[in-house]
Amino acid sequence: MSNNHGNTPAAWSAVVVGLLGFVVGGIGLMLDPVSMTIFYVGLAIILAAGVVFLVMAKMGLHESSH
């Protein structure tokens, strides 16, 4: 495992975007009646977290600062 495992801007950004997606999706499931539209928006945000990570990693933001 690398010394910077999870401690890069790319990793933190992906985690924050993914967490936002889980919150949005969870809210959609808690509504009465359940809003599958909001749930799927949350799912799309979660998938966008992976894209955010890949783009930021390609920009060099997933490398050690040492």
Are the C-beta atoms of residues 21 and 56 closer than 8 Å to each other? no
pLDDT value at residue 16: 96
pLDDT at 6 over 80: no
The confidence band for 4, taking pLDDT boundaries of 50, 70 and 90, is: low
Token pair of 22, please? 């889980």
Averaged pLDDT for residues 47-54: 96
Distance, CA of 13 to CA of 3 (rounded, Å): 18
Which residues does 10 contact at the CB level (< 8 Å), separation at least 6?
52, 53, 56, 57, 59, 61, 62
Are the C-beta atoms of residues 8 and 51 closer than 8 Å to each other? no
The confidence band for 28, taking pLDDT boundaries of 50, 70 and 90, is: very high
- pTM of the predicted model over 0.75: yes
